Structure 1
C-alpha cells in the first residue's frame, strides 16, 4: 500500500550483498510508516515471493540472473515502483535505470535517512534522484545537435523501445518485423547519430523526448 492510500508504505529489497541487504531491511523495518515486504537476493527470488503490485522496491543493479536495466524493467513489469541504490552511479547507469522505469536513484554512499526519504517520495507518487546525480538528468535534457530531423518514424519507434529496456527480439515482436530488420534500423540510427552503445542510444531517446 502506498502513502497516498493512507496506509503504511510496503517496501521490499533486492540486493545480493548479505550485509547491505540486511542493513537496508533494518532501515525500512525500523520506520513507523513502512511495512517490510520481501527481502531477496535476486529478481527471481523476489518474484517467487508473490508480492502484490504496489511495493516500493529498493533494487541493486548488479545482481545474479536478471541484472542492470533489465532488472529494473522486470520489477516495474510486476507492478512495483523501483528505487535503485547502487555502487555504480555513473551517467549511463542513472539514465539507463530511469529510462527503464526506475522512480529513483541513489548511490550506495546514501545513508538510511536518504533511503527512507526516497522511498517516501516514491510512495507518494513522486520521483527522487540524489542531488549529486540529478545533474546527469539535467545534462541529458539540454538541447544538442539534434537527430530529430534525421531519424525516420520507424527508427524513432525502434529507439524508444530500446530505451524502454526491450531486447531486439522484443522490439521485433512489438513492431511485427524480424530481428534482422530491427538490427538494421539500429545500425542506421548509429550511423546517423554517432551513438554506438545502448546507454548512449538510451540517452539519445531521453534527449529526443521519447522517454
Structure 2
C-alpha cells in the first residue's frame, strides 16, 4: 500500500520512511512538510492516477494545520484514508480530526508496529485509535459533560462568534480555519448544547455571560 507522510519535521519523515520501506507491503509515495504541500502533492498524483492509499499526517504544522488538511483531502480525494500521528492527545484535537474524516489517531509515543497497524487498518476501511485516545473517548461516553462544560475551548470561541452574529465564513476568517471546519464547529456546538438554531446559541451565550446582551 502507498503512503504519503506529512510532517513539518524532516527527521520524523525520514524515520517513518526508513521503517515503512523495509516492509514488503508498504511504499512511501511521497513526503510533505505541511497540509498545503500535501494537497499539492495529492493533486499531482491524482493527475497521474497514482494516489496513495493512506496519508499519515501530523496536526500542528505551518501554513495549513492537519485538521484543516484532513477535511480538504477527504473532499478532494474521498477514497484516500487519513491517519493522524501527533504529539497531542487532547480530546478537542481528536474530535476535530475525526470530524474531518480521519480513519485513525495515534500519538507519537506509539510503537512502530502500532503505526503500521493503523496504516493497514485504514487501508482496509477500518478505524485505529491510540489506546489513550480510545480511553478518553470511552470516558466521554460513560460520563459525558453537559452544557457549557461540554464545549472545547475552540467551540467556546465559536459560540461567542455565533452570538456576535458572525457567519461561518467570518468565523473561519477570525479563527484562521476553513469554512468547512467552522461549519463543523457550529454544528457541534448546537448538538452539544441541544439547541436547534444560531439564535438559541446566541441567547445561551448571553445567559452564560460569554457576551453582553445586544442593545
C-alpha distance 146-56 of structure 1, shift in aligned 2 (>3 A): same
Q: What is the aligned partner in structure 1 of residue 132 from structure 2? A: 132
Distance in 1 of aligned mates of 2:25 and 2:10: 24
Distance in 2 of aligned mates of 1:189 and 1:98: 27
The residue matched to 2:181 in structure 1 has which SS? coil
Work out which of the residue numbers 6, 13, 25 in structure 2 matches 1:33.
Answer: 25
With normalisation by structure 1, the TM-score equals: 0.65
* Contact residue 29 and residue 52 of structure 2 kept, 8 A: no
C-alpha distance 78-112 of structure 1, shift in aligned 2 (>3 A): farther
* Offset, 1:51: 2.7
The residue matched to 1:51 in structure 2 has which SS? helix
Distance in 1 of aligned mates of 2:118 and 2:82: 10
- The structure with the larger Rg is 2
With normalisation by structure 2, the TM-score equals: 0.64
C-alpha distance 184-36 of structure 1, shift in aligned 2 (>3 A): same
**116-125 vs 47-56, greater mean Cα deviation:** 47-56
Distance in 1 of aligned mates of 2:145 and 2:13: 43
Alignment of 1:48-197 (within 5 A): 48-49=40-41, 50-52=44-46, 53=51, 55-79=53-77, 80-142=80-142, 144=144, 165-167=180-182, 184=199, 186-188=201-203, 190=205
* Offset, 1:120: 0.4
Q: How many residues align?
A: 164
* Contact residue 82 and residue 102 of structure 1 kept, 8 A: yes
Q: What is the aligned partner in structure 1 of residue 13 from structure 2? A: 21
Q: Deviations over 1:96-149 (max 9, x none)?
A: 2111211101101012211101100111110000112101221333474767xx
Structure 2 residue ranges without an equivalent (≥5): 148-161, 163-167, 173-178, 187-196, 211-215
| Corresponding position: 1:42 with 2:40 | no
Structure 1 residue ranges without an equivalent (≥5): 1-8, 148-157, 172-181, 197-211
When the two chains are superposed, the root-mean-square deviation of aligned CA atoms in Å is 3.3
